[in-house]
Amino acid sequence: MRAIEWNQKQKTLQLLDQRKLPGEVTMVVCEDQHQTAEAIRTMVTRGAPIIGITAAFGMVMAAYRAQAADVAGLRAELQEAARELNASRPTAVNLPWALTRIMRIANVSTDATAQLCERLEAEAIAMAEEDVAINKRMSEHGASLIEDGDTIIHHCNTGALATVDWGTALGCIRMAHEQGKHIQVLVDETRPRLQGARLTAWELQQYGVPFHIIADGAAGHFLHSGQAQKVFFGADRVAANGDVANKIGSYMLALAAHTNQVPVYSVFPFSTVDLSLANGGLIPIEERDASEVLGIQLKGQPAVPAGALARNPAFDVTPQHLLSGWITEYGVIRHPFEANLEQARRTAE
């Protein structure tokens, strides 16, 4: 079951509501770009790759439901839709990447609005299928780094729920399991929204991969005591120098792993690299509502005192020197990241 499905007949988008997992499997139907932007903002769907594909289909719905009488008017409406979708979440670069790619198609010369709509739809469908193929290639590269008997710490959720299918970091773990390697996964809860405890654990159950959920703060213990041999997580935006923005807590995890000489791998498609940013300090970090932190309950009771304040950054930046390598569709990229990234980019072109 994919977390995203395009209904070609009705021109609507179905998204698995990840806010309700693992207790309930429910699909949310988006009928236009406004509902799509809201679904991204409220985290009905989340994960950098799937956010980009979701936005692409949001643009398709905007095209089919546009009020414009001609192509020029349709392009103007699409520009406005792109602005709305781009504002839904600021950190993941796959969002503006997907919108730019769709607008590139929208600006190709044509005299017919119907033809333009069909071109955009075909492009979004192609992007979705490309995502699956890219994820499988990344998973194969990443699985080659996982040895039989490894215990891997995984942060947040980077599986099929975060992509069109397969996933990034969790895809590597799934691939290693399907290759017959006997592995264990330590699943960071990933507070405050618990994407690890809720989503990654649910996915691993579907795949039959052995796992234990751990508190985020317990990762250092397992690394220091030699009970974990690898750390895998994804990325939402990667700067040109190799710094990686990922779910909050990734930096602390990478620090602990680096101190204990445990390899740390960030897994992401090439579309997540933002060459316009020289380093991770320039990556915009989304700060979400404090209620996500303050609303946590313990045994049905509020976990914090009334009137408490909270800060809630959704991401942090892991400096490139803490990473053992990137895993991309073009293979494993190691230090020096800037030079090897350029080589991979030339290969991609």
User: Could you tell me which of 180, 68, 54, 61 has the C-alpha nearest to residue 117?
Assistant: 61
Q: Look-up: residue for tokens 């895993």?
A: 327
**Please, are residues 310 and 293 in contact by the beta-carbon 8 Å criterion?**
yes
What are 116's two structure tokens? Answer: 């333009």
Nearest-angstrom CA–CA distance, 25 and 14: 12
How much is the pTM? 0.92
216 is catalytic: no
C-alpha to C-alpha distance for 86 and 124, rounded to whole angstroms = 16
Name the active-site residue from 17, 188, 216, 236: 236
Helix 113-143 with 94-106: angle, nearest 10 deg:
140
Task: Dihedral sign for Cα 192, 314, 335, 132, please.
Answer: positive
Assign 233 to helix, strand or coil.
Answer: strand
Q: Which segments of the chain are extended strands (E)? A: 4-7, 12-16, 27-30, 151-154, 184-188, 211-214, 230-233, 237-239, 244-247, 264-267, 273-274, 297-298, 301-302, 315-318, 325-328, 331-333
pLDDT in tens, the chain (349 residues): 689 999 999 999 999 999 999 999 999 999 999 999 999 999 999 998 999 999 999 999 999 999 998 999 999 999 999 999 999 998 888 999 999 999 999 998 777 999 999 999 999 999 999 999 999 999 999 999 999 999 999 999 999 999 999 999 999 999 999 999 999 999 999 999 999 999 999 999 999 999 999 999 999 999 999 999 999 999 999 999 999 999 999 999 999 999 999 999 999 999 899 989 999 999 999 999 999 999 999 999 999 999 999 999 999 999 999 999 999 999 999 999 888 877 877 776 6
Q: What pLDDT is stored for residue 149 in this prediction? A: 98
- Please spell the DSSP secondary structure of 5-33, one letter per residue: EEETTTTEEEEE-TTSTTT---EEEE-SH
Distance, CA of 152 to CA of 188 (rounded, Å): 11
Strands 273-274 and 237-239, sheet pairing:
parallel
The DSSP string of 89-106 is -SS-THHHHHHHHHHHHH
The CA distances from residue 48 to 258, 290, 316, in Å, are 25, 22, 14
Are 243 and 277 in contact by the 8 Å Cβ rule? The answer is: no
Q: How far apart are CA 17 and CA 45, in angstroms?
A: 6
Residue 242 in 3-state DSSP? coil
CATH superfamily of 141-348: Translation initiation factor eif-2b; domain 2 (3.40.50.10470)
Q: Is 310 helix (H, G, I), strand (E, B) or coil?
A: coil
Burial annotation 220-248 (CB, 10 A radius, 16+ → b, else e): bebbeeeebbbbbbbbbbbbbbbbbbbbb
Annotated domain spans of the chain: 4-135, 141-348
Taking alpha carbons only, the member of 287, 341, 289 closest to residue 316 is: 287
Domain 4-135 fold? Four Helix Bundle (Hemerythrin (Met), subunit A) (1.20.120)
